[in-house]
Amino acid sequence: MTTAAARSEGVVLPTSQISELFTSLVKAMRAFQMYLPNNPVYQRAAQQVRAAFAPVWAATDVLELQVVETDLHWEGEVVYQQLSKSDSFAWALYKDGLRVLTLRPGVEEQELVRFLDVVNRARFLPADASDDLLTLLWAEEFQWISYQFAEAYGDSAPPERQGQAAEQVSAEVRQQQVAEDAPARNSGVVDLDDFDSTLYFLDEAEINYVVREVTAEYSRDVRSSAMTALFDLFEQQTVAEVREEILTILDQLFPNLLNAGEFRTAAGVLRELRILRDRSAALGAPQRDRLQSFELKLSEPAIVRQLIQSLDEASIRPGDVDVSELLGELRPAALETLVIWAPRLGSEPVRQILESAADRIAAANGAEVLRLLRTPDSEALLGIIGLAGRLQLQPAVSGLGDALSHQDPAIRLAAVQALTAIGSPGALAHIDRAIDDADRSVRVAAVKAAGARGYKSALRRVEAVVQGKAARAMELSEKMAFFEAYGSIAGASGIRYLEGMLAPRGLLRMKESSEMRACAAIALARIRTPEAREVLERAAADKDLVVRNAVSRALRESAA
């Protein structure tokens, strides 16, 4: 329904609707004063004001209000009242002479935020300021907002002066007023107006340049500029009191940067402080320690944990680049906390960033990785083991070897897997020890790793199992793992023993089970020599179905 149609059908605009509108408007003015435009509180306040205008414009297409000291009147009714002048929106208008305020549809979309900003600025102008509310409103040239001002001239009655956007105050009148108020020019001073009387005399390229420069100025990171000034002062001023004061300011500011999500700025602060520590002249030991404390403080477990939680729980997170830049400043002390918390996060992007930060720290700080590997009660132990294997950290081999003595089988299994990924001679030597582990999963992982690498030093332990009584009591998958490893490691030297176990007519024929004979066939497939294949071919027609199937499989594998 259009506005005109609504009025024709007798839509009544209740006074309470106007009161609610100005309640929302005053709240929004406070929010606009306290928060930046990208803040959710600022944006929510703007949306609420726009919503409050909707029922008003459904009933009328003009809203004219009389400003009476601390009250706003509409059609003779008080729709806004705040007796405290310091908090009154109406008084902020009245004290500068505004008597009538008129709003029209479209103001909530285009001009309301600017109008409230002007009112806020006018409220805090100093007493001797050259501007007031009227001049500030003139500069904005509103289209949907009209106003009437009353100014006292001596003892005469205050005449009313109406300002209704640009069409009500012509450019010629304004130029005349400026000329009258301007001081007299000295003779010999060049005035551009003598050469070009056009109001806008810049060419297009010059206008574009001005626009770019103004945009750059307003988008400039003022906080970074202020920080740079502090760093310059710290470096140039060698007076201890000045430097202590700057460090105190940074000490108070740094936590605020983290809480506000200014991670890139915080990372920049840490980098600058590190540079200052290295090159500042006449820097005493206490000041040097304070500069270093910023890096150490960021990497404290409590602060790292709080930072991670805020990143994971925040509905609006800073860009991944900003977070990565800050985490790039973490020291080795943060590694344990990162490894503990990364798997617990619900946000996949944040988890990936934390894992990358942990990988970077671990790759550059082998001593910290070793310390954690040798801390059996650390919550991060399992994660550190996995990290060492994923990055194939050679310096971590000795620590992984220590982890093979841990009481938790899961830790020992992870250590075997990490050592397998590293695959160095030192790592295989520790894997050899794990072949005798009390846990089946650890034994199987270790013997498979030794067999896959053909690690000759493991032959003694594997052979003892295959040729002893232990293999006969094993579950089939473990038994097969040992026989496969035996074939891979022993090679041709193991054919004779395996043939004796597999042959249907032999000394051990009546003593060996079908499973043991089938495992011998699988072991022969790993040897891959003509002699081993001949043994398998002779057993291809064995009467035992299990053995016959195993031999058939072994022949296919040896031919591949």
What b/e readout covers 85-115, taking b as 16+ CB neighbours within 10 angstroms?
eeebbbbbbbbbbbbbbbbbbebbeebbbeb
CA distance 96 to 127: 12
| Residue 458 binned pLDDT confidence (cut-offs 50, 70, 90) | very high
| Residue 490 binned pLDDT confidence (cut-offs 50, 70, 90) | very high
Radius of gyration (C-alpha) of the chain in whole angstroms: 41
Nearest to 151 by CA among 102, 115, 85, 98: 98
- Under a CB-based contact definition with an 8 Å cutoff, are residues 299 and 333 in contact? yes
Region of poorest pLDDT, from 138-147, 258-267, 421-430: 258-267
- Under a CB-based contact definition with an 8 Å cutoff, are residues 49 and 28 in contact? yes
Could you report the per-residue pLDDT of 338-386, keeping only the tens digit for each? 999 888 887 787 888 888 889 999 998 899 999 999 999 999 999 999 9
pLDDT at position 401 over 90: yes
Q: What is the pLDDT of residue 541?
A: 86
**Is pLDDT larger for residue 166 or for residue 178?**
178
CA distance 483 to 467: 10
Q: What are phi and psi of 78, to 5 degrees?
A: -80, 120
CA distance 191 to 171: 19
DSSP run (H or E) holding 81: strand 77-81
- Under a CB-based contact definition with an 8 Å cutoff, are residues 151 and 165 in contact? no
| Alpha helix (H) residue ranges in 124-262 | 133-140, 165-168, 171-181, 204-219, 222-236, 240-259
| Residue 11 binned pLDDT confidence (cut-offs 50, 70, 90) | low
Region of poorest pLDDT, from 118-122, 325-329, 408-412, 419-423: 325-329
SS (H, E, C) 372-419: HHCCCCCCCHHHHHHHHHHHCCHHHHHHHHHHCCCCCHHHHHHHHHHH
- Under a CB-based contact definition with an 8 Å cutoff, are residues 434 and 426 in contact? no
Could you report the per-residue pLDDT of 273-321, keeping only the tens digit for each? 888 877 776 777 787 787 777 777 778 888 888 788 777 766 545 556 7
Sign, CA dihedral 16-17-21-22, equals: negative
* 446: its two tokens: 């270790």
CA distance 488 to 483: 9
Indicate the SS3 state at residue 528.
coil
Q: How far is CA 422 from CA 105, 373, 380, in A?
A: 72, 15, 20
CATH topology of domain 383-452: Leucine-rich Repeat Variant (1.25.10)
Indicate the SS3 state at residue 347.
coil
CATH topology of domain 454-560: Leucine-rich Repeat Variant (1.25.10)
Q: What is the pLDDT of residue 390?
A: 92
* 227: its two tokens: 């920080």
Residue type present at position 169: V
- Under a CB-based contact definition with an 8 Å cutoff, are residues 393 and 422 in contact? yes
Residues 6 or more apart whose CB falls under 8 angstroms from that of 156 comprise: none
Residues 6 or more apart whose CB falls under 8 angstroms from that of 119 comprise: 29, 89, 92, 93, 133
Chain-centre distance for alpha carbon 43: 22
pLDDT at position 166 over 60: no
Could you report the per-residue pLDDT of 201-221, keeping only the tens digit for each? 667 788 888 888 888 877 777
Q: What is the pLDDT of residue 88?
A: 87
Task: Name the CA dihedral angle for 111, 114, 119, 125, rounded to a multiple of 10 degrees.
Answer: -150
- Under a CB-based contact definition with an 8 Å cutoff, are residues 79 and 19 in contact? yes
pLDDT averaged over every residue in the chain = 81
- In which order are the strands placed within the sheet that holds 77-81? 77-81, 71-74, 63-68, 98-103, 145-150, 160-163
Domain boundaries, the chain: 3-177, 383-452, 454-560
Percent of the chain residues past pLDDT 70, beyond the cut: 85
Q: For 84-108, what is the mean pLDDT?
A: 88
CA distance 415 to 399: 9
Q: For 138-160, what is the mean pLDDT?
A: 67
Same topology, domains 383-452 and 454-560? Answer is yes
* 254: its two tokens: 């740094």
SS (H, E, C) 284-336: CHHHHHHHHHHHHHHCCHHHHHHHHHHHHHCCCCCCHHHHHHHHCCCCHHHHH
Q: What is the pLDDT of residue 179?
A: 53
Residues 6 or more apart whose CB falls under 8 angstroms from that of 186 comprise: none
Q: What is the pLDDT of residue 191?
A: 56
Residue type present at position 85: K
CA distance 253 to 273: 14
* 367: its two tokens: 């001593």
Residue at token pair 């050679």? 394
Q: What is the pLDDT of residue 3?
A: 42
Q: What is the pLDDT of residue 201?
A: 60
CA distance 471 to 450: 17
Sign, CA dihedral 45-47-48-54, equals: positive
Q: How far is CA 33 from CA 37, 49, 120, 121, 226, in A?
A: 10, 15, 7, 9, 21
Nearest to 420 by CA among 485, 335, 491: 485
Indicate the SS3 state at residue 262.
coil
Q: What is the pLDDT of residue 5?
A: 40
Chain-centre distance for alpha carbon 271: 19
DSSP run (H or E) holding 77: strand 77-81
CA distance 509 to 529: 24
CA distance 52 to 103: 13
